[in-house]
Structure 1
Amino acid sequence: MTTAAVFGTGSWGTAFAAVMADSGTDVRMWGRRPEVVAAINAGRNDEYLPELALSSRISATSDPEEAAAGADIVVLAVPSQTLRDNLGTWGSALPGNADVVSLMKGVELGTTKRMSEVIADAGGVDPQRVVVVSGPNLAREIAVRQPAASVVASSNAGAAQRVADACAAPYFRPYTGPDVIGTEIAGATKNVIALAVGMAEGLGMGDNSKASIITRGLAETTRLGCALGGEAVTFAGLAGVGDLIATCMSPLSRNHSFGVRLGQGMTVDEVIAVTKQTAEGVKSCTSILDLARHHGVDVPIIEQVDAMITEGKAAQDVVDALLSRPRKAETG
Structure 2
Amino acid sequence: MIGVMGAGAFGTALAVSLALGGRDVVLWARDGDAVARMRNDRVNPRLPGVTLPDTLTVTDDFDTLSGDFPVLLAVPMQKLRDAIRSQHAILDARPLVACCKGIELATGHGPSQVIAQELPGATPALLTGPSFAADIARGLPTALTLACAEGPCAEELQTALSAPNLRLYRTEDVVGAETGGAMKNVIAIACGAAIGAGYGESARAAVMTRGYAEMVRLAVARGAQPGTLAGLSGFGDLALTCTSTQSRNYAFGISIGEGAKFDPNITVEGAATARAVAKASRALGVEMPITQVVVALIDGKVDMETALGMLLSRPLKEE
Is 1:272 the counterpart of 2:263? The answer is: yes
**Residue aligning to 2:82:** 85
How far did 1:71 drift? 4.6
Tell me how far apart the structure 2 counterparts of residues 223 and 247 of structure 1 sit (CA, whole Å). Answer: 20
**Residue aligning to 2:46:** 48
**Residue aligning to 1:300:** 289
Is 1:235 the counterpart of 2:229? The answer is: yes
Is 1:290 the counterpart of 2:279? The answer is: yes
Tell me how far apart the structure 2 counterparts of residues 284 and 95 of structure 1 sit (CA, whole Å). Answer: 26
**Residue aligning to 2:158:** 164
1:78-116 deviation digits (Å, cap 9, x = unpaired)? 1111111112211222152x2110101011112111111
Tell me how far apart the structure 2 counterparts of residues 44 and 317 of structure 1 sit (CA, whole Å). Answer: 49
2:16 counterpart letter in structure 1: A
1:20-50 deviation digits (Å, cap 9, x = unpaired)? 2133221111111123212332363432111
Change (3 A) 1:178 1:43: farther
Native 8 Å contact 2:92 2:120 kept in 1: no
How far did 1:300 drift? 0.6
Native 8 Å contact 1:191 1:281 kept in 2: yes
Native 8 Å contact 2:2 2:25 kept in 1: yes
Is 1:180 the counterpart of 2:174? The answer is: yes
Tell me how far apart the structure 1 counterparts of residues 128 and 157 of structure 2 sit (CA, whole Å). Answer: 12
Taking only the aligned residue pairs, the percentage that are identical comes to: 37
**Residue aligning to 2:102:** 106
Native 8 Å contact 1:194 1:247 kept in 2: yes
**Residue aligning to 2:211:** 217
Bigger shift: residues 248-257 or 18-27: 18-27
Tell me how far apart the structure 2 counterparts of residues 79 and 105 of structure 1 sit (CA, whole Å). Answer: 8
How far did 1:166 drift? 1.8
1:100-147 deviation digits (Å, cap 9, x = unpaired)? 101010111121111111111123344xx1111111011111121111
- Structure 2 unaligned regions, length at least 5: none
How far did 1:173 drift? 0.6
2:31 counterpart letter in structure 1: R
Change (3 A) 1:318 1:44: farther
Native 8 Å contact 1:186 1:239 kept in 2: yes
Bigger shift: residues 209-218 or 86-95: 86-95
Tell me how far apart the structure 1 counterparts of residues 40 and 209 of structure 2 sit (CA, whole Å). Answer: 44
Q: TM-score under structure 1 normalisation?
A: 0.92
Q: How many residues end up aligned between the 2 structures?
A: 319
**Residue aligning to 1:317:** 306
Tell me how far apart the structure 1 counterparts of residues 196 and 20 of structure 2 sit (CA, whole Å). Answer: 38
Q: TM-score under structure 2 normalisation?
A: 0.96
**Residue aligning to 1:70:** 67
- Structure 1 unaligned regions, length at least 5: none
**Residue aligning to 1:192:** 186
Is 1:11 the counterpart of 2:9? The answer is: yes
How far did 1:167 drift? 2.2
Change (3 A) 1:146 1:166: same
Is 1:252 the counterpart of 2:241? The answer is: no
Tell me how far apart the structure 2 counterparts of residues 154 and 76 of structure 1 sit (CA, whole Å). Answer: 14
